[in-house]
Structure 1
Amino acid sequence: MQAAAARRAFSSLASKIHPQLPLTPRESQQLLNLLTTSFRSHLDREYPAGPSEAPPPSTTTQIVKVEQPRRLPSSYDSASEHIDSILSNPLFARNPSWRGSDSAAANALKDPLAWFLDQAAIGTADISKATLCLDVLQTSQNKPKGRRSSLSNKDGRPASMIAEWLRTSGEETSKDFLISLPVTKGAPRRSLVNRLVPLLLAEGNHAPLWRWYAYEPEEDGILSQAQISPFKCQLLKEMINAARTRDEAFAIFQQAFQLAEAGKRSAYVNSLQVAGARLVDMIVADPQVQCTPELYERFALSTNGWLFAWKPVVQAMLCLCHPTQSDPQPGLKIIKNPDSFLASTHSKPSRQRFFVRMCLGTAQQLLKEEKFAEAQIAMQFTKEHFADLVLIKYHSSSPHHITRGVSEKNKTREEKKNIALLDGLLAT
């Protein structure tokens, strides 16, 4: 009996010290007011505001108007700002519409954003659930209009909401967010940042992207610069891919380049090389896309900071693709003195194709300018050093050659164009 009475007494005392949740709205407000008052009192006690300067007492009866000095910022104001930032977190700012376990994820199909915000409100949100939310939203947008999922509170900014959760929860500096799992079999796994980048750009919210790109891990922290370097590369490349215009892509790259110049860290240089190569590929693939010449020239000039031995070839290609003033002379100069590039060109197939394309582009531009002798030099050089790419050997007696599929025809289409250009130039 005594033991049972003791247990009841202990249970009663424990319930008073730590009442069971969930609390009623009134109890929750009382608890919040108590925590707020206690926190402010503690902060004022530990960090009191500086004493106000009072004017010296006057020795005359004349009333002198003295300007009061500006009051120093109080710890009360700092506490208020801190509490406001805490209360803006979905954990406090949102009253969840359901309190379920992971089995409640079926609600994500109906309203994925509301489901995720509820998960954040009850403290169970994580990177995988944020990824699931965006996946369901993207899948829903591809469905017919009548079958799409709804957005909570008629808000069309789900990426911004998830980015804010990443910031307030501290997940944006976590290993789960910054380091992608290694790719095994099958297609590469798209990380959360891959999904967020195009949505944030579409929503006009660039701030989270640059905050993530500029993040520097602590020297004694869990992550190192080398570990987050792939994240920066992936992030900047996705920003270039998701840019809605060529000018926007140039502006994004220029801002990253300025951060790299200020930081002088290898993580930035690596990301510039990856994103810069992607931007160069986009320019070469479609040089007719409209852009501002000044932004184009600024990007071309930036190659001095992130390209090394291969820089002259890339710059020659950019001169050929200039939106208003195509210049073949840098390419022709390389063709006349190619020794320093041929070795590295033949060692990498991608560089070899890029180099051949630069040579062919140089010849075409020279032909447009009616500089036939120089154009023939460029084509003769290409035929001599890259015959396997610009010449096609036909074997009419082979039945296999007759039955080639469409893919094989597509593969040689570019080579046939090169042959036609060769024949025309050599004839002149």
Structure 2
Amino acid sequence: MRSSGVVQSLKSWASKLHPQLPLNAKESQRLLTALTSSFRQQLDQAHPIRSARKEEKPTKKEQAVPNIGHRDLHASSADSADRHLTSILTNPLLAKSYGTTKPIRDYAAAQESFLREPFQDTVTLLEEYQEHGAATVPIAALCLEKYISQLDMLSDPDRAKVVSERQAGARTLRWLWKSGLHDSEAFVDDTRLADVLLPCLVEEDHEDIVWKWLVQDIRLGPQDDSHYDILRKKKLYWYRWKGRLLRSMISAILDQQCRPTKSCDAALDAIFRAESVQANISLVPTMVILKKVFRDRTNPFRYTDCAKFDRFLRMGTAGGGDNIYAVHWMATLKQYHPTQPSGQPYLDMIREMLSEHRSVHDFSDVFLTQMRTTKHDTARREFYTRLLRTAALLEVEGLHSDAKWIASLASEWYPEWDPWTEHNLQRERRSLSNWDSVRTDGRSLSNQEPEESKATHQPVPFPTFV
């Protein structure tokens, strides 16, 4: 007995020094085979299978009736049990393989949960994960994506009711702040969660919470000055989260408030407010989004206030002076003015760049070379389209000789599309019809209230609500 106790102590001590390693693939297969054989053997002992009867020639009566014997039933049960055991032992969610981390397994489990119950309260699932310390930014993004897909299947009244009752955006933001992940790189540098969280907050009328969040002085990244030699660069990196939040919020405002009214006024008011608060909010990501939506040939925001549009133009050229990039910004957007699109500014820019007396300090040479010789297909298509748009607008303005000259430049600089230049020019001419008589039905549409007003919510203070 004493010898046995000593041996057991040595084994226990050795196991602490050298813990048992995970099974390799060969050992796992042996264990699976042994368990399957043992399970099948115990099943056969509990339900013995009778010996097969000697084959006899069946009578006509027996041939007419299918013979489902006791042996067939047990054989089927054994096969079913075999498949069931194999599925359990080989389930990837239960596997503990190398390179598979716990967050990845938790995310896979969340996906499987939505497959089983696609209409569950998704944020409740996030809160359950939080109780077990397993909630992550990717899981939160997944939950809100599923929540939005659920909303998209509802009628407008049902959607408003669900949004008011669940408050998924506010609950997710509360979790984000309580968990301390609001200033983590997992949230800031992967905008997947922000792109679904901000639309929820906007739909729940919690924009004020976002503005209070945006003015918080939260710096992300290294705080020492050795990494950057310019303060502006440091601030852009520290406060990059603000520009990304603003972009996501204004994208949501465009979809939810601007498209139904065919006016960008609400989105422009938001970016003007961000400009005025002076809280190190980068406006560039949002300005790129707005520039893109204004350049839609269908003119979906034709009721945008002209004064606000002109102010947005000045934002893009502020501090640029005669810099060619600021001039190009203004000339491009002038082509899509809500009521008075014009090709004259772009024509003037081209003439200035080709002039012998152009300024040598505004990067005209660099920009012209890039415009004519770039190999990037998207950039070439962009410059080509700008020239054709200019030609179409100049025709409308009665400058036919200038229009022909600009169209010839498009064919000369971009010969790969020369055979289709006339066809593409005709398309630009047709698109200009979207700007004709856009004010004939008045501007009352942008000031109308929706048929069903949004549900009112109790104000949620920030950041105390978290």
Report the counterpart of residue 416 of structure 1 in structure 2: 423
1:323 aligned partner: 338
Distance 1:415 1:241 in 2: 35
Given that residues 113 and 152 in structure 1 are in contact (C-alpha distance below 8 angstroms), is that contact kept between their aligned partners in structure 2? no
SS at match of 1:288: coil
Partner Cα distance (1:332, 1:376) in 2: 12
State the distance in 1 between where 2:149 and 2:181 align.
Answer: 25
Structure-to-structure mapping, 1:146-161, within 5 angstroms: 155-161=165-171
Q: Aligned residue for 1:251?
A: 269
Residue equivalent to 1:171: 181
Matches for 1:38-53 after TM superposition, within 5 Å: none
Aligned with 2:370 (options 337, 341, 344): 344
Structure 2 CA distance for partners of 1:208 and 1:352, relative to 1, 3 Å = farther
Counterpart residue type for residue 276 of structure 1: M
CA gap 1:209/1:388 in 2 versus in 1, 3 angstroms = farther
Query: Which deviations, in whole Å up to 9, do the C-alpha atoms of 1:243-270 show, x marking residues without a partner?
Result: 23122222222223334xx24x5xx44x
Distance 2:138 2:346 in 1: 49
Of structures 1 and 2, the one with the larger relative CO (CA 8 A, separation 6+) is 2
Larger radius of gyration: 2
Question: Aligned-pair distance for 1:152?
Answer: 8.8
CA gap 1:218/1:381 in 2 versus in 1, 3 angstroms: closer
Q: Secondary structure at the match of 2:273?
A: helix
The alpha-carbon deviation at position 333 of structure 1 amounts to 0.7
- The answer to whether the 8 A contact 1:320-1:328 is kept is yes
**Contact 2:317–2:330 (8 Å) recurs in 1:** no
Q: Distance in 2 between matches of 1:320 and 1:220?
A: 40
Q: CA deviation at 1:366?
A: 1.8
Deviation at 1:136, TM superposition (A): 2.9
Give structure 2 stretches of 5+ with no counterpart.
1-105, 225-233, 259-263, 355-363, 430-466
Distance 2:399 2:415 in 1: 23
TM-score of the pair, normalised by structure 1: 0.55
Alignment of 1:95-114 (within 5 A): 109=117, 110-114=120-124
Do residues 285 (structure 1) and 311 (structure 2) align?
no
Give the structure 2 partner of residue 202 of structure 1: 203
**Is residue 247–residue 289 contact of structure 2 (8 Å, CA) maintained in 1?**
yes
Output one character per residue of 1:346-385: Cα deviation in whole Å (capped at 9) or x when no partner.
Answer: 3354444333323222221221122222222322333333
State the identity %: 21
Provide the secondary structure at the position in 2 that maps to 1:172.
Answer: coil
Classify the secondary structure of the residue corresponding to 1:327: coil
CA contact (8 A) 1:287 1:321 kept: no
C-alpha change, 1:206 and 1:144, in structure 2 (3 Å) is closer
- Is this contact kept in 1: 2:316–2:326, CA < 8 A? yes
Q: What is aligned with 2:6?
A: none
Q: Aligned residue for 1:89?
A: none
What residue number does 2:246 align with?
Answer: 236
CA 1:334–1:219 in structure 2 vs 1: closer, same or farther (change >3 Å)?
Answer: closer
How far apart, CA to CA, are the structure 1 residues paired with 2:241 and 2:298?
29
- Which residue number in structure 1 is paired with residue 145 of structure 2? 135
Give SS of 2:299's match: coil
Aligned equivalents of 1:164, 1:137: Cα separation in 2:
17
Contact 1:313 1:355 in 2 (8 A): no
Determine the structure 1 residue equivalent to 2:394: 366
Greater displacement, 210-219 / 288-297: 210-219
Partner residue of 2:102?
none
Structure 1 residues 228-286: Cα deviation after superposition (integer angstroms, max 9, x where no partner): 55544433333333223122222222223334xx24x5xx44xx233212211211124
SS of 1:171 mapped into structure 2: coil
Q: Distance in 2 between matches of 1:111 and 1:117?
A: 10
Cα distance 1:274–1:135, how it changes in 2: closer, same or farther (>3 A)? closer
Q: For residues 394 and 124 of structure 2, what CA distance do their matches in structure 1 show?
A: 60
Letter in 1 for 2:295: V
Matched residue SS, 2:218: coil
1:306 Cα offset (Å): 7.6
In structure 2, do the counterparts of structure 1 residues 367 and 144 end up closer, same or farther at CA, with 3 Å as the change threshold?
Answer: closer
**Structure 1: gaps of 5 or more residues:** 1-101, 181-189, 393-411, 423-428
Structure 1 distance, partners of 2:180, 2:370, is: 44
In the alignment, the residues of structure 2 paired with residue 201 and residue 380 of structure 1 have an alpha-carbon distance, to the nearest angstrom, of: 47
Number of the residue aligned with 2:408: 380
| 342 and 305 in structure 1: CA distance in 2 versus 1, 3 angstrom threshold | same
Per the TM alignment, residue 134 of structure 1 is displaced from its structure 2 partner at its CA by 1.2
Q: Is the 8 A contact 2:387 2:410 kept in 1?
A: yes
CA shift digits 1:147-171 (9 cap, x unpaired): x99x999714211221133234433
Aligned residue identity for 1:301: R
CA 1:388–1:120: 2 relative to 1, 3 Å: same
Query: What is the one-letter code of the residue matched to 1:343?
Result: T
